[in-house]
Amino acid sequence: KVFTLSDFDDCSEKVKARIKILDKGGVQLTAENLGKINIPPPITTAAEQKRILGLQHMDDLISMSDGQIWLSEELYKSGQRPALDVQRSLTRVGVGADTPSRADAPAIKELAGGLRFELAQAASLSGADANSGADRQIRTRDALLLAMHQERETRLLSEECICLLAARIGTLDAAIVDGSLAGTDKGSQVIQALIKHVKNVVPDALNSIDETLDLTEVNRNDLEDAIKSFSIS
């Protein structure tokens, strides 16, 4: 389709001036030629206007849901920090380069893979039969919540790895059974003692994680051995 000068009446004066130069030079005002100078073709029909508006609304919805989290007052009152409702949240991993523990670090990506799904699945198992295996999933959920629980303190990347890995390999299960849940003094004491213990046992592995942001197989094995040697009393 070849456009006319009148098709650009609603455009800015700058665009109209450029269009007039093209027209005066005998250049056909086609979408292809306009694209060469980064001028979008004008919207000339009601159907096209409706399509563009629909795409704009879609972009707005994507933008709204990109990184959106749902904080629950009920979870906050129960002591969970952060009080994140994973079933209602839709999140993406961000850069977080200005924080001690980076969300986009390879180490975090390795340990947090599938985390949201696990938490959401466990949240839907309340009231399930005790012999269905639901109790184990719920215990794992509580261990992960304990590992992630923070009040106002910040953690190093290596410290986050200690906590998440401890939950992943079942070390925190005993604490959960003992009532050391997220948001309790007992739970906080267990996590603090765990971090201190691992720091004393494998300091070089932790330094490597903080420096490289990665969790190598060697460092992971060292962390697992140190975590397993921790006694929850």
- In this predicted structure, what is the pLDDT of residue 62? 55
**pLDDT of 223 higher than 60:** yes
Cβ-contact 1, 31 below 8 angstroms: yes
d(CA 127, CA 170): 23
Tokens coding 14: 């700058």
**pLDDT of 97 higher than 60:** no
pLDDT band at 78, cuts 50/70/90?
confident
- Kindly state the percentage of the chain with pLDDT values over 70: 76
pLDDT band at 51, cuts 50/70/90?
low
d(CA 43, CA 84): 44
Q: Domain check: are 53 and 77 in the same one?
A: no
**pLDDT of 13 higher than 90:** no
Higher pLDDT, 10 or 217: 217
- In this predicted structure, what is the pLDDT of residue 56? 61
d(CA 24, CA 71): 59
The CATH number covering residue 218 comes to 1.20.150.20
Q: Domain check: are 57 and 84 in the same one?
A: no
Higher pLDDT, 226 or 109: 226
Residue that has been written with the tokens 């340990």 in this structure:
111
Higher pLDDT, 119 or 231: 231
Q: Domain check: are 105 and 211 in the same one?
A: yes
Q: Domain check: are 59 and 169 in the same one?
A: no
Total domains, the chain: 2
- In this predicted structure, what is the pLDDT of residue 42? 78
**pLDDT of 66 higher than 80:** no
Which among 65, 83, 108 is the end of a domain? 65
Q: Report yes or no on 233 lying in a domain.
A: no
The model's pLDDT over 181-216, given as tens digits with 9 standing for 90+, comes to 888 889 999 999 999 999 999 999 999 999 999 999
**pLDDT of 22 higher than 80:** yes
Expressed as residue numbers, the domain containing 22 is 5-65
Kindly state the average pLDDT of the residues 164-177.
93
Q: Where are the alpha helices (DSSP H) in the chain?
A: 13-24, 31-36, 46-65, 73-77, 106-112, 115-123, 134-148, 157-168, 173-177, 185-201, 203-212, 217-228
Q: Domain check: are 138 and 206 in the same one?
A: yes
- In this predicted structure, what is the pLDDT of residue 212? 92
pLDDT band at 96, cuts 50/70/90?
very low
- In this predicted structure, what is the pLDDT of residue 57? 61
Kindly state the average pLDDT of the residues 47-74.
65
The model's pLDDT over 115-166, given as tens digits with 9 standing for 90+, comes to 777 777 776 666 555 555 678 888 888 899 899 888 777 889 999 999 999 9
